[in-house]
Each structure stands twice: as structure tokens, then as C-alpha cells.
Structure 1
Amino acid sequence: MDPERNPAGKASQSGDDTAVAAVPVEATASAAPSGDAAASTIAEPSASANSAKKKSRTRPKAGTHPNNVRKLRQGAMMSKAELARRAGVSPLTIDRVEAGCPCRMDTKRKILEALGLQPSAAKQVFPDLETP
């Protein structure tokens, strides 16, 4: 910091360098302990809160429900958009299902019908299904 300038960055009018230099030193000295203490108390909870959030993740990761939708769709020479249109769902839903994300039973039924399969083929397309 330039000793001839005040904290606002303007030139000192009095020309007294010691008065201008003393203000920031006092402000820095008095603000530093309380500022550092406040910063350390604020930083610690956020760091522990972030680690707690990572440890308590309850939602399973994508891909935990493998299926054969992509293979069957490609075998039928169908794009994701075409399958989505025929099934009456969004293309994003098809992306998620093919990635292995869990979906509703109704969505699985719609996809089976759009692929031209019987409901009895559900176990071959979605191996994770529990049939009664």
C-alpha cells in the first residue's frame, strides 16, 4: 500500500504520512484476530458439513440396474428419440433407463411395448425385475 494514499486510494491532502499509515495498521491489527477467528470457525463447519454430506449419500449411483434396452433398441435399428416417441416418454428417460437408472414399472411396460415385445419378456429385458 502506498503510504501517501489513504485506504480509499486517494492522495492524502495533509501530507502527513504517519497518520495515513497508522489507520490501516490499527484496523488490520484489530480486525485480524477477530477476522481470522471468525473465518476459521466458519470454514470448519462448512468443511465438516461437506464431508458429512459425502458420507451420508443414500441414493444409489447410476448403473445399478443393468438391462438390455440398448441392445434391443439397436437391434431394432431404432434411435433413442424414436423409441421415446413410440413409448410415450422423453428421450432423457430412455437415456436414464439405458444407463441403468431405476424407473417405474409403467415406464418399463411402455418401453417393452415400443420394442414390440410381450410383457412376458420383461425378465429378459430388465433382469432386476422380481416377478411374483
Structure 2
Amino acid sequence: MPDIKYSKKHEWVLVEGNIGTVGITKYAAEQLGDIVFAEIPDLGKNITSGGETAVVESVKAASDVYTPISGEVTEGNSAIVTDPSLINKDPEGQGWFFKVKLSNPGELSSLMNKADYDKYVLENPS
């Protein structure tokens, strides 16, 4: 079973070995509405947990995407730049934003599992 963690800023990270794949949650995508633009970080960029790392724009608003983990960007999902609607269609799958080589795996312990995230969303609606 994949190890997926969630942040209070509505990002998710799927950890496989020392690589984390990051995207926004289904809840975040629904709140944004139709996404029309996505910007991903440059390869090799060093990012810090909680930092602004990517941008997503919808017909409603522009929003920063914060990384829930620190490390070096190893891959960006160019498919969402070409077709931002992938983020709405499959936010926790094909709509991922970037991959990071983890520099501090201990940060994962501060993130939520799916059940805790679902509870958080119910208790803290936008």
C-alpha cells in the first residue's frame, strides 16, 4: 500500500523510497474550480517544507502550492502545464506537480494520513 501523507494546506505526498511525489488534494482542486494554468518548479531546485514551490490558477483564483517536504526537485509534471485540467480530473494521480528527492524524511511525521486529513477537512471547511 502506498504511503501517502497530507498537509493542512491541502497538498499530498506519495513517498516511494527517497522520492516524494507532490500534488494538491481532490478537496483543493474542487475548491479552486476549473484549473486553467499550472507552473511547476525547475529541476534541481532545492525546496524547503512549507515553501511556495508551484502555482495553480483557476477561473476563481490563483494559488500557491506549498511543498510539504524538503529536498531537491527531480522531476516536474509537464503534462499539467500543457493540460492543466488534468489537475481537476485526477488531482491525486495524473495531476501531480513535482517529485522531490527527500533531504529530511523525518518531516513526514508531521503530516497526516488519509483518515486524519479527511477529518481535518470536515472540521476546517474553507
TM-score by length of 2: 0.20
Q: Which is higher, the Rg of structure 1 or of structure 2?
A: 1
Higher relative contact order (CA 8 A, sep 6+): 2
Q: Which has the higher strand share?
A: 2
Q: Name the structure with the higher helix share.
A: 1
Calculate the TM-score normalised by the size of structure 1.
Answer: 0.20
